[in-house]
Structure 1
Amino acid sequence: MAEAPLIVLLGNDDDDDDHRVLFAEIRRLGGAARRVHPDELVTEVTAEGTRFLVDGSELAPDLMFGWVYEDYLLLGMNQLETARLSGLPVVNSAMTLLRGQSKYLNSVLLHRAGVRHLPVLWGRDEETLVSWTAERGYPMVTKPLMSSRGRGMYRLTDEASVRDYTGSLGPGPEQYYVQPFVPAGHRDTRVLCVNHHAVAAVTRIAPEGTWISNAPGNTRHRAELTPELCAIAEGAARAMNALFAGVDVAHDERTGELRVYEVNTCPTCTATYRELGTDPVPLMELASFLVAAARDFDGARAGWRPSVAV
């Protein structure tokens, strides 16, 4: 029997439930899995090549999978790019994770790929934002550069609220990121994609009293993967070059069109699927892809297909 390919997940234990499920499925499929915290990884770079070490012993992965964000994003990006440059296959590379964390880059890439998104304005100049919002109409939504679960989102309803918001920006590089509010019944659908294929979808409904669909306390139910939903989600995943992605899609009640809010490149799903009383299908499909990619990266990229869609 061929030796089990080693898949190293670079990340911390914030999403431990997802990692446990993923690793169990990798092992069931004949692979080996290990999580390495970015602080644990030691890298040696010489003229002869690059080596990775953990606890003084050399680490020889067949594939490295990036699951870093927020505080560990920059360090993890450097480590993942070093791995890629050394010749290791990397799933969700440094640039993919940056694109997923940065809403600015999300918007640029989605628009350039022709994926239905939203117009956005980002910067610091108050008068430009006042003019832009007045021209486009209220309400508007603000989002921080990096956030999750709806933290830091606000709705702007008039010029006064725009000026109050810009006045609250801290010193230094903090900037606004503003886009029109989408009337979508206070709900959206997260589509999970593996190797640019949609594998599952969950609709999220905002808690009573709020309009933020991914806020804690939201209601979730399984959603049908329609051809239109698959097409827009898969296009968004390709735009980010994200081999594992959670694509947040809204149904615009004004136009009847689907629009992508953003693409998350470290999406969690175990808790959601546990609540829905079913297996975390996206992680099962991800494990299948990672084992195939660890054995033959180019072949898996070209030929892997999901076994089931929910």
Structure 2
Amino acid sequence: MISDTQQPILVNLSAMMCAESCILTSLNYRGLDYRYFMLECWSLLYESSLILAGKNITRYDLDAVYGIQTLEVNGGIARLIEAVGNLKISIVSTLSSKLDFFPDYQITFESEGFKHQLVVVDYDHHLDAFHVLDPIANYSGKIKSADLLRASTEETGFRFLELEFPQNPKVIPVCEIFSRATMININRMGINAESVKAMRLDVRSLAMWDERKRNQWLEQNNLTIATIIKARQMVWNCYVELNVLPECNYPLLNESFHRIIGEWTSINFFLLKYKHQQQSGAKHAHTIDSKLEHVFLAEKSFIELLYALGQTAG
């Protein structure tokens, strides 16, 4: 059982990356270096007309680096109890609006069909309560099983990802982890390209949308791009902290990274300009479209350079 006085370190990658934040928090809770996982968190998706920095939680391979076995489960309370404690942790799909501890101001995209995940680490039989960690809400505490069930995304029971940790964690050289992460990131560039292309198509059609729909798109993507910027910065910090970058290449990589952040920040600025200066919408849309192309090319160049260095390291 977990003591109420213990305060596990919650790792919040960004509000729109709660699945990844739950994985990071789970790793950190078990005393593993979550930065290894962070190295491969460079992705883009355009989903429900939103540009995002995450991907499907079940597509992450936690076995290669950590030796963690994962299993997708649909089950009731009894099955979830089996999936926590000892060497197991579970990441449960919920509706944030149904969680009493979740701040109202953070409930942003549930109406767009986005689900929220939290980490379940233990079960208290005396209280009939689960101990949960929610990195997005900055919450660590107990929740009655009936209350967690009420917040479930499923009509009956729960949908969750069961993580089974090994008795003896894997020990892999950091250079190999770096090499693997750069390969994963470069293999994802095709999806990133399609995502940016889809967003650019919407940008070009904004003028044809009614004002309410257009403003909603501008506001929501302004928020999601802010999370992309935060996530990119955290990923870059992990590359630097793990000391995997050759010293001679660091200045170029650092400059390239800050160019990427500058491009995303500029896109956000013009999204706001479009919203508040709609009479100049065509001009702003053209600028946003052009900058989306620039930021993708900047990211592609950056990831290709990391990949080249990673293959040398590995």
TM-score by length of 1: 0.26
Higher strand share: 1
Higher helix share: 2
TM-score by length of 2: 0.26
Q: Which has the higher contact order (CA 8 A, sep 6+)?
A: 2
